[in-house]
């Protein structure tokens, strides 16, 4: 120890110090955005060591990333001279692995067991499906993998798994899960989800081992507590039962990861789950201006599922929040780029500027603009638009249709979506092409009769489609050509199925990317012009710069901060996401609002919010967007709203008011003005009403859903229906979003 008394406590504000000096019992720290939670956790550990209340090995601190764990250790090491190698600091998974290495026999493992990666998991599942004669074209290996992972995150072993006749592919899931776990044990392996699950099993089976760890850890600290899932909560609770000293730091207003298993109810039920509880709020924000904080606080106050806190700051009042509406995305991108150029003129660094999106697909128009202007940018947590898998696939289809000699395009798409054309068949086509000095496409035509019947049929259909698309291209423009290709190739159905069978957030946005791609074609007179443009874009984006502006989704922005933040795409249906509202009702709406809160609190100085009236995905419809309901929830006195000419002048008023954009009722500023002008009254939607659906909808009724299409009701559970949709997928949706088909 340095011996420099307790001067470190003087670096803390009153509430932070209260957290640090509160030693025993259960502490829930509600740490608002920018309130210094990392400092609090670090100094609490320091205080326990300084006061000799615990040795390093008697403290266990759980973080959500290995990086956060390393940083915490490094901070402590800078202040004290004690060795901290024995301190248990890490993620749930890394700490569980540490326990498993000591007690592997308890769960049937041998020494030097392996942790397999995703690729190996998929290979194993595919092998199981082949043996069990399960068609992986019907039920993908990823679907099984996601289902198994979901069970493990909830602490559900195969033995715990109960039959669920309403769950899609229930019998197949049960079969694969059972064999999968048996095979892992046979191979002396486990997957990532097993790390915590096996640890829990050891605690359940062997009381002596459990008591050993309960007695060892006098103090438990948990970061990002709002993001833990059910099995992580179980893990914490087992260890807590020893000394019952725990300090959990989190923010219920920043719980935005339910789609990956996080459950904010763990935080909201803290007083029920632990004893001798004290709740301490860290409400002083050191990051943002007063106006930004007031804006964020006003918005999040609309949520009911929260403890409640009020952020405040000693910082300047700052600028008002600017809200600007535009007719189309190009205008939006031009406005933002001009604002950024003005910031640069005022000596702002590009690294201090970020653009946040609800949907990753919306980066496209901005990327185009920045490339043209020579503004260097980077995308956090994802690929640039033209680098995304689905975009490269569709471009390959267009390239091959435009040029039958494009072998690279042929190789990319010949089996996308999967057509049963394997490596062996492709190898034969390639060999024939080399021997005869012809293109792969021409070789495929000539090789049809030399392949097996299944591949023969698929190759024939593929060739016929390409020839047909060439004819379409002669009679129609490149935009229509792209639409035909996307539909005829089965690519849309392929993405829909992938979306339904995956929890991967990237898969949930691939269709959006396709629709955005169609929009991008409208800027070019012909296909050649577009393909040339793409080539130039790919060349330009390869250039790097030390200083870049940042583009990312709101989810990816959590934990980051910038001087200037642009929040793009604040349109109803986009943000809040219609998908979230349809699938989880008010719960989904509140999570979307928490996401807005996170986005707002990333900014230190300035915020610009933008929205677009023209439907971003007009490929599929001609609806119009209205400003997000979240804009109406911002305090009027600290925002500047500059509505688009469309809103101001009420062009297409009748069409706008009568359109189904109003189906999910709410009141936003733009809509309020529209409705006032049209003298129409609307009722604000109450998500808690139980009678908002058509009672005439019965079992077996044919229905239509705006996103998922046509289907038939299999079962009704309260206000939700389990529907078998076309294209062989089933989903539970709110009845209020279904229309009956006579």
Q: What is the pLDDT of residue 622?
A: 44
Q: Which of 16, 37, 496, 604 is catalytic?
A: 37
Q: What is the pLDDT of residue 682?
A: 32
Q: What is the pLDDT of residue 561?
A: 94
Largest CA distance in the chain: 86
Where does residue 548 fall: left (phi above 0), alpha (psi -120 to 50 degrees), or beta otherwise? beta
Q: What is the pLDDT of residue 184?
A: 93
Task: Report the candidate in 682, 616, 612 with the shortest Cα–Cα distance to residue 647.
Answer: 612
- One DSSP character per residue, 353-366 reads EEEEESSGGGGHHH
DSSP state of 571: B
Exposed (0-12), middle (13-18) or buried (19+): which is 692, by Cβ within 10 Å?
middle
Other beta carbons less than 10 A from residue 667's beta carbon: 15
Q: Which two tokens stand for residue 661?
A: 């954009």
38 is a catalytic site residue: yes
Q: With 60 as the cut, is the pLDDT of residue 684 above it?
A: no
Distance CA 311, CA 408 (A): 55
Q: What is the pLDDT of residue 230?
A: 92
Q: Please state the length of the chain.
A: 742
Q: Which of 149, 194, 223, 393 is catalytic?
A: 223
Exposed (0-12), middle (13-18) or buried (19+): which is 302, by Cβ within 10 Å?
middle
User: Given pLDDT bands bounded at 50, 70 and 90, which one contains residue 99?
Assistant: very high
254 is a catalytic site residue: yes
Return the C-alpha torsion angle 251, 255, 256, 259, nearest 10. Answer: 150
Structure confidence by residue, pLDDT tens digits, 232-282: 999 999 999 999 999 999 999 998 888 777 888 889 999 999 999 999 999
Q: 92-103 and 230-240 helices cross at what angle (nearest 10)?
A: 60
3-state DSSP assignment of residue 222: strand
Q: What is the pLDDT of residue 691?
A: 36
Q: What is the pLDDT of residue 668?
A: 46
42 is a catalytic site residue: no
Q: Where are the alpha helices (DSSP H) in 132-275?
A: 141-153, 170-186, 192-205, 207-216, 230-240, 265-268, 270-273
Q: With 50 as the cut, is the pLDDT of residue 664 above it?
A: no
157 is a catalytic site residue: no
Q: Which two tokens stand for residue 552?
A: 């990312």
Q: What is the pLDDT of residue 645?
A: 63
State the average pLDDT over residues 87-112.
91
What is the chain's alpha carbon radius of gyration, rounded to the nearest angstrom? 28
Distance CA 576, CA 703 (A): 25
223 is a catalytic site residue: yes
Least confident of 387-391, 588-592, 667-671: 667-671
Q: What is the pLDDT of residue 205?
A: 92
Which pTM value belongs to this model? 0.74
Q: Which of 91, 254, 425, 601 is catalytic?
A: 254
Q: What is the pLDDT of residue 135?
A: 87
Q: What is the pLDDT of residue 618?
A: 43
Q: With 50 as the cut, is the pLDDT of residue 680 above it?
A: no
Highest-scoring range by mean pLDDT, 115-124, 137-146, 259-268, 274-283? 274-283
Is the pLDDT higher at 667 or at 427? 427
3-state DSSP assignment of residue 62: strand
Distance CA 416, CA 250 (A): 44
Q: With 80 as the cut, is the pLDDT of residue 26 above it?
A: yes
User: Given pLDDT bands bounded at 50, 70 and 90, which one contains residue 166?
Assistant: low
Structure confidence by residue, pLDDT tens digits, 592-648: 999 999 999 999 999 999 999 876 654 444 457 789 999 999 999 999 988 766 555
Is the pLDDT higher at 623 or at 140? 140
DSSP state of 281: E
The mean pLDDT value of the chain amounts to 83
**Does residue 390 contact residue 513 with C-beta atoms inside 8 Å?**
yes
Other beta carbons less than 10 A from residue 76's beta carbon: 22
Residue 507's alpha-carbon distances to 390, 494, 503, 510, 519, in angstroms, are: 10, 11, 8, 5, 20
Could you list the beta-strand ranges (E) of 13-91.
Answer: 26-31, 59-62, 88-90
DSSP state of 72: H
Q: Which two tokens stand for residue 683?
A: 């009722």
* ∠ Cα 362 367 368 (to 5°): 110
Task: Report the candidate in 491, 534, 543 with the shortest Cα–Cα distance to residue 727.
Answer: 491
532 is a catalytic site residue: no
The three-state (H, E, C) secondary structure of 681-696, written as one string = CCCCCCCCCCCCCCCC
Q: 141-153 and 230-240 helices cross at what angle (nearest 10)?
A: 30
Distance CA 711, CA 725 (A): 4
Q: What is the pLDDT of residue 505?
A: 56
Distance CA 228, CA 230 (A): 7
3-state DSSP assignment of residue 649: helix
State the average pLDDT over residues 419-440.
86
Burial 281-300 (b: 16+ CB within 10 A, else e): bbbbbebbbbbbbbbbbbbb
Structure confidence by residue, pLDDT tens digits, 447-463: 775 656 677 888 888 88
Q: Which of 149, 194, 224, 499 is catalytic?
A: 224
**Does residue 566 contact residue 357 with C-beta atoms inside 8 Å?**
no
In the chain the first and final C-alpha atoms are separated, in Å, by 78
Is the pLDDT higher at 141 or at 516? 141
Is the pLDDT higher at 551 or at 457? 551
Least confident of 221-235, 240-254, 305-319, 485-499: 485-499
User: Given pLDDT bands bounded at 50, 70 and 90, which one contains residue 76?
Assistant: confident
Residue 397's alpha-carbon distances to 384, 414, 511, in angstroms, are: 19, 9, 16
State the average pLDDT over residues 563-592.
91
Query: Rounded to the nearest 5°, which phi and psi values hold at 29?
Result: -100, 110
State the average pLDDT over residues 48-55.
90
Does residue 180 have a cis bond before it (omega within 30 degrees)?
A: no
Q: With 60 as the cut, is the pLDDT of residue 4 above it?
A: no
Q: What is the pLDDT of residue 687?
A: 32
Q: What is the pLDDT of residue 368?
A: 84
Q: Which of 17, 18, 21, 38 is catalytic?
A: 38
State the average pLDDT over residues 702-729.
74
Highest-scoring range by mean pLDDT, 72-76, 80-84, 352-356, 738-742? 352-356
């Amino acid at each position: 120890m340095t011996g420099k008394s307790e001067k470190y406590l003087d670096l803390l504000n009153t509430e932070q110090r209260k957290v640090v000096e509160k030693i025993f019992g259960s502490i829930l720290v509600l740490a608002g955005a920018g309130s210094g939670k990392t400092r609090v956790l670090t100094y609490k550990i320091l205080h326990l060591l300084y006061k000799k209340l615990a040795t390093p090995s008697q403290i266990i601190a759980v973080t959500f990333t290995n990086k956060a764990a390393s940083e915490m250790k490094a901070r402590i090491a800078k202040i004290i001279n004690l060795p901290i190698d024995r301190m248990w600091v890490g993620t749930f998974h890394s700490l569980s692995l540490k326990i498993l290495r000591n007690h592997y026999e308890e769960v049937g493992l041998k020494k030097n067991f392996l942790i397999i990666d995703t690729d190996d998991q998929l290979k194993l599942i595919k092998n199981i499906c082949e043996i069990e004669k399960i068609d992986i074209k019907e039920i993908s290996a990823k679907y099984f993998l996601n289902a198994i992972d979901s069970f493990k995150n909830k602490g559900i072993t195969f033995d715990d798994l109960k039959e669920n006749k309403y769950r899609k592919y229930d019998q197949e899931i049960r079969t694969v899960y059972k064999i999968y776990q048996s095979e892992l044990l046979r191979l002396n392996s486990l997957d990532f989800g097993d790390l915590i699950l096996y640890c829990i099993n050891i605690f359940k089976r062997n009381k002596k081992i459990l008591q050993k760890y309960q007695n060892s850890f006098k103090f438990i600290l948990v970061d990002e507590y709002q993001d833990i899932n059910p099995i992580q909560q179980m893990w914490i609770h087992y260890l807590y039962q020893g000394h019952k000293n725990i300090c959990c730091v989190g923010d219920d207003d920043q719980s935005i990861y339910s789609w990956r298993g996080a459950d904010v109810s763990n935080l909201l039920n803290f007083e029920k789950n632990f004893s001798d509880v004290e709740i301490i709020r860290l409400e002083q924000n050191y990051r943002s201006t007063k106006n930004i904080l007031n804006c964020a606080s006003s918005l999040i106050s609309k949520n009911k599922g929260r403890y409640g806190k009020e952020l405040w700051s000693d910082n300047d009042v700052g600028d008002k929040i600017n809200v600007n509406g535009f007719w189309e995305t190009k205008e939006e991108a031009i406005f933002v780029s001009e604002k950024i150029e003005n910031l640069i003129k005022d000596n702002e660094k590009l690294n201090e500027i970020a653009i946040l999106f609800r949907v990753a697909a919306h980066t496209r128009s901005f990327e185009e603009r920045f490339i043209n202007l020579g503004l260097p940018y980077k995308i956090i947590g994802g690929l640039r638009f033209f680098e995304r898998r689905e975009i490269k696939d569709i471009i390959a289809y267009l390239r091959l249709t435009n040029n039958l000699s494009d072998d690279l395009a042929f190789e990319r798409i010949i089996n996308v979506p999967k057509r049963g054309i394997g490596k062996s068949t492709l190898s034969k086509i390639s060999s024939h092409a080399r021997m005869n000095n012809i293109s792969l496409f021409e070789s495929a035509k000539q090789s049809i009769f030399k392949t097996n019947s299944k591949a023969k049929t698929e190759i024939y259909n593929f060739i016929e489609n390409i020839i047909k698309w060439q004819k379409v291209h002669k009679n129609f423009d490149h935009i229509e050509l792209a639409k035909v290709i996307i539909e005829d190739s089965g690519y849309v159905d392929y993405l829909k199925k992938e979306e339904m069978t995956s929890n991967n957030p990237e898969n949930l946005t691939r269709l959006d990317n396709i629709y955005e791609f169609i929009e991008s074609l409208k800027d070019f007179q012909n296909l050649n012009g577009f393909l040339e443009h793409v080539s130039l874009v790919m060349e330009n984006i390869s250039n790097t710069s030390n200083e870049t502006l940042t583009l990312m989704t709101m989810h990816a922005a959590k934990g980051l901060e910038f001087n200037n933040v642009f929040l793009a795409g604040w349109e109803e249906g986009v943000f809040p996401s219609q998908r979230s509202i349809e699938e989880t009702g008010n719960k989904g709406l509140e999570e979307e609002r928490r996401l807005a809160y996170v986005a707002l609190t990333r900014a230190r100085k300035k915020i610009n919010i933008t929205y677009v009236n023209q439907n971003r995905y007009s490929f599929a419809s001609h609806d119009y967007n209205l400003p997000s309901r979240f804009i109406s929830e911002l305090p009027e006195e600290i925002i500047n709203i500059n509505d688009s000419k469309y809103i101001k002048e009420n062009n297409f008023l009748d069409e706008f008011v009568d359109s189904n954009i109003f189906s999910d009722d709410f009141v936003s500023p733009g809509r309020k003005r529209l409705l006032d002008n049209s003298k129409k009254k609307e009722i604000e939607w109450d998500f808690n009403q139980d009678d908002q659906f058509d009672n005439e909808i019965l079992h077996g009724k044919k229905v239509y859903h705006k996103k998922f299409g046509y289907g038939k009701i299999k079962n009704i559970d309260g206000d939700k229906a389990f529907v078998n949709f076309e294209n062989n997928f089933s989903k539970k949706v709110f009845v209020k979003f279904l229309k009956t088909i006579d």
